[in-house]
Amino acid sequence: MSKRIKKIFEIKGKKLITFTTGGDPDLNTSLEILKTIINNGIDIIEIGMPFSDPMADGPTIQESSVRSLANGTKINDIFEIVMNIRELNSEIPIILMGYYNSIFNLGIDNFTSKCAETGVDGLIIVDLQPEEDSELFTKSKERGIDLIRLITPTTDHKRLITILSNASGFLYYVTVTGITGQNSANIEDLKKSVNTIRSSTKLPIVAGFGIKNRNDVEQISTFTDGVVVGSSIINIIKDNLNDKYKMINKIKIFTKDLKEGIKE
């Protein structure tokens, strides 16, 4: 298990995780956004590796990938962002989220080696099933990087056991069926599902997809170990492309509000 992820969950309190796509809207602004988020005391940052066909993502995150790729962002630029963050903050866990193609193109050994070198703590690979990820799991584990598993509302008990067999870091519970940034979760159903998963694992459970604002954060963090907010931040980026100062300021206010919500 990654030392930083382990440490953050050992500290009392619920965790707030933010998602932004690396290189959106450009590399410099992307880094400024991440610095702003970190300065607001966010617990874990998740950086999306832009991909041309992000099928699990809704229009908001798809567009952020398009903007990033249009500016020429490559996987090595994502590692550059990670290194820049590490120079400023050696403690915050950094997770890369994306699709297997990005890793396959670089080579598993090369990719996990770069992750370890730059200070990545965990990976969430949306389209890689537990039955097919043994090579990535082994290489990640060797280098102290967590391969974080996704669990969805349609995961049955048998499938859950398969997913849990090699899970590490924390579990990412997808609160809604479908793609990111669309529907909001039904709180009662979500609570029931999370409690069911808890009976089979000691790993922290974090909820993501469909968590849009402070109210969602307050409600969902009462029965999970943390929450992920992504699309709402990316919408602020999209709505303020012509005014970077305003964009950063709005993200600052919004993430501060989310952090206050998780404390209550």
**pLDDT interval class at 56 (50, 70, 90):** low
Tell me whether residue 57 is one of the annotated catalytic residues: yes
- Tell me what pLDDT residue 181 has: 47
| CA separation, residue 46 to residues 17, 227, 250 (Å) | 7, 12, 19
- The predicted model gives 106-126 an average pLDDT of 96
Percent of the chain with pLDDT over 70: 94
Tokens 């410099």 sit at which residue? Answer: 28
The answer to whether residue 139 scores a pLDDT higher than 60 is yes
Instruction: Tell me the C-alpha distance between 166 and 241, whole Å.
Output: 41
Extract the tokens encoding 216.
Answer: 């969602």
Single out the catalytic residue among 26, 32, 53, 57: 57
**pLDDT interval class at 247 (50, 70, 90):** very high
Extract the tokens encoding 37.
Answer: 């988020």
Tell me whether residue 239 is one of the annotated catalytic residues: no
The answer to whether the pTM exceeds 0.85 is yes
Extract the tokens encoding 46.
Answer: 């998740």
Instruction: Tell me the C-alpha distance between 24 and 95, whole Å.
Output: 16
**pLDDT interval class at 264 (50, 70, 90):** low
Question: Taking the alpha carbons of 104, 166, 144, 125 in that order, is the dihedral positive or negative?
Answer: positive
Identify each DSSP E strand in the chain by its residue range.
15-21, 44-48, 94-98, 122-125, 146-147, 149-151, 171-174, 205-208, 226-229
The answer to whether residue 59 scores a pLDDT higher than 90 is no
- The predicted model gives 116-143 an average pLDDT of 91
Q: What are phi and psi of 44, to 5 degrees?
A: -140, 140
- The predicted model gives 172-185 an average pLDDT of 66
The answer to whether residue 143 scores a pLDDT higher than 50 is yes
**The CATH fold of domain 3-259:** TIM Barrel (3.20.20)
Instruction: Tell me the C-alpha distance between 66 and 208, whole Å.
Output: 22
- Higher-confidence position of 165 and 120: 120
- Tell me what pLDDT residue 54 has: 60
Instruction: Tell me the C-alpha distance between 264 and 212, whole Å.
Output: 17
- Tell me what pLDDT residue 55 has: 64
Instruction: Tell me the C-alpha distance between 126 and 208, whole Å.
Output: 13
Q: Where in the chain are the domains? A: 3-259
Instruction: Tell me the C-alpha distance between 251 and 31, whole Å.
Output: 13
Instruction: Tell me the C-alpha distance between 215 and 219, whole Å.
Output: 6
The answer to whether residue 178 scores a pLDDT higher than 60 is no
- The predicted model gives 36-44 an average pLDDT of 97
Single out the catalytic residue among 46, 77, 121, 216: 46
Q: Average per-residue pLDDT in the chain?
A: 91
**Contact by Cβ (8 Å): 180, 231:** yes
Extract the tokens encoding 258.
Answer: 């989310």
179-228 per-position pLDDT tens digit: 544 456 678 888 989 999 999 999 999 999 889 999 999 999 999 999 99
Helix (H, G, I), strand (E, B) or coil at 252: helix
Q: In what order do the strands lie in the sheet with 205-208?
A: 146-147, 122-125, 94-98, 44-48, 15-21, 226-229, 205-208, 171-174, 149-151
Extract the tokens encoding 192.
Answer: 């029931």
- The predicted model gives 152-166 an average pLDDT of 90
